[in-house]
Amino acid sequence: MKFKKIFTCSLAAMLAVFSAGCESDFLETGPSTSISDELLFRTVGGAQNAINGVYNYMRLRSTDIEYGSVLQFNNGFDIMGQDLIVRNSMGQMQIYYAHNSNVSRADGALTGQLWSYYYTIINNVNIILDNIDKAEGNAAQKDAIRGQAMAIRGWSYFNLIRAYQQTYAIAKDMPGVPYYSVGGTTEGKPREKVSVVYANIVTDLKAAIDILGPYSRAYKSQVNKSVAQGILAEVYLTMEDWTNAAAVAKAAKVGFPLMNQTQFQSGFNDWALGEWMWGVHQSSTQNFGNGSPFTLWANQTRGTRWTFDFLYVNDKFKDLFEKDDVRNQFWFRTDHGLWTSNKFREAQDDFYGDVVMMRSAEMYLIEAEALARSGKETESKEVLWQLQDARKATRSVASGNAYIEQILLERRKELYSEGMAWFDMIRTGKGFTRSGDHPAIVSLPARSWRFILQLPTTEFNSNKSLVTADQNPYEGIYQP
């Protein structure tokens, strides 16, 4: 495996770029050639520049709207499911929606893009962790950088492991993804066992939580203790560690009050809202342009700016929302004959909007599900009802498995187009069959290998530790 550094090649340029902190212009990405690690990490200021570079790479848009960063991947994975529709306009996003071009196959663009994106991030935070102790400067700032780097590494491996192998509960003894804990590695490693990868993820995130306790971030794009807790809660939920999932989610959401109706319906474009735990800011000098996730939606709310005009919601999904639910923001496009949503709208005054990456609503849902699955249904309902009351939705009163299904449905209604749906189907062992007004009818059975990405062909070409037998199947159903 060959890794890339994303630190800028000129120290003077780097300092100029970061003079305004993490919210300055995007970095150009590419290998570092003129700055040695020794020079870059001589001071804590240089280390801060390095972690800022990682943040900028994490949100960097590519030349299209399908690939490039987590912001594109999140929409794509939700589109692959049953609730969203992509009208075939210019062919873009069809790789996700129509499952064409062999979306999960080794030679498909998605698997190579996702693999490269997260391993590039991992390599760079590893370089930071390898060198942070050598930097001269404030110890508290060094700890903050270390904690952020560890949390980002855990987050990156979590996204890799759940994309490239079946879920933890049934696959913990199966091969996962290569694990690298040292930066600048040039020799590829074999696939590490799923349970080992998850153990390392948990170790990183728990350490980050401890380290980041005193850290006060400047921007919501940065990972602080609450965000690290939120990531760990997601991990524990996937591992079916219900006790820890509930406890960590409960802690993570403290200080992030649920949005009221006006705030929820304001367009999901302002990271200053209290419910937002983690997000990406857009401004006149730092934005995604027509690569913004907002351009996908066919809600005609971009004013005079251009939009792709092709992301809609399935009519059966729309019918799941009660009339007075504040999330019931759907309307019919007579020109295309499909329903669309006003959930995501760019700010009308400047045509830019912040992009959400984590909200406390998800923490309520994690806590409620984990409590219910551990037999604490009464406590679970007390948590879920807080969210349902805020959304003016009818409280769930079922019991047992029927109640858990209501929580999972609540996740679909609350979190659509935020990157959760595909991975929820993987971890809960559910398939799907599209119905209603979907123009591309797709059906995938539970535990289908089509839910799981194959390792990219480029990795097999460069990583000599892999053999043909290491590849995930493309067809069939996994039988645990």
DSSP-derived 3-state class of residue 416: coil
**pLDDT for res 290:** 78
- Longest CA–CA span in the chain (Å) reads 63
| Band (63; pLDDT cuts 50, 70, 90) | low
C-alpha span between 232 and 204 (Å, rounded): 9
Of the pLDDT bands very low, low, confident and very high (cuts 50, 70, 90), residue 101 is confident
> pLDDT value at position 28?
29
Angle between helices 377-390 and 400-415 (to 10 degrees): 30
116 or 348, higher pLDDT: 116
Euclidean distance between CA atoms 105 and 31, whole angstroms: 28
Give the Cβ contact number of residue 381 at 10 Å: 22
Q: Exposure of 90 by Cβ count < 10 A (0-12 exposed, 13-18 middle, 19+ buried)?
A: exposed
Query: CB–CB of 115/190 below 8 Å?
Result: no
Res. 7 pLDDT band, cuts 50 70 90: low
3-state secondary structure 13-26: HHHHHHHHHHHCCC
pLDDT at 23 over 60: no
Q: What is the mean pLDDT of the chain?
A: 90
> Higher confidence at residue 14 or residue 103?
103
Q: Does pLDDT of 35 surpass 60? A: no
Report the pLDDT value the prediction gives residue 62, as an integer from 0 to 100.
Answer: 60
- In DSSP terms, 136 is beta-bridged to 43
The least confident of 89-98, 110-119, 259-268, 437-446 is: 89-98
pLDDT at 31 (0 to 100):
34
Angle of helix 194-211 relative to helix 225-239, nearest 10 degrees? Answer: 150
Pick 380 or 2 by higher pLDDT: 380
Q: How far apart are CA 465 and CA 463, in angstroms?
A: 5
* Spacing of C-alpha 51 from chain mean position: 19
The structural domains of the chain, with segments of one domain joined by +, span 11-262+357-464
Q: Are 275 and 220 in contact (CB under 8 A)?
A: no
**Burial (CB count <10 Å: 0-12, 13-18, 19+), residue 397:** exposed
Q: What is the DSSP letter of 275?
A: T
Examine the pLDDT at 38 and tell me if it is beyond 90.
no
Which pLDDT score, from 0 to 100, does residue 185 have? 82
pLDDT band at 64 (very low <50, low <70, confident <90, very high): low
Domain 11-262+357-464 = CATH 1.25.40.390: yes
Mean pLDDT calculated for residue range 134-145: 96
Instruction: Return d(Cα 467, Cα 234) in angstroms, integer.
Output: 32
Indicate the pTM of the whole model: 0.93
pLDDT for 378: 98
pLDDT tens column, 431-469: 999 999 999 999 999 999 999 999 999 999 999 999 999
pLDDT for 210 beyond 50: yes
Provide, for the chain, the percentages of residues in helix, strand and coil under a 3-state DSSP scheme, each rounded to the nearest 5: 45, 5, 45
Q: What is the pLDDT of residue 284?
A: 83
In whole angstroms, how large is the CA radius of gyration of the chain?
A: 22
Side chain identity, residue 17:
V
| Structure-token pair, residue 262 | 């006006």
Q: Which of 405, 403, 407, 444 is nearest to 426 (CA)?
A: 444
State which H helix or E strand residue 49 sits in. Answer: helix 44-58
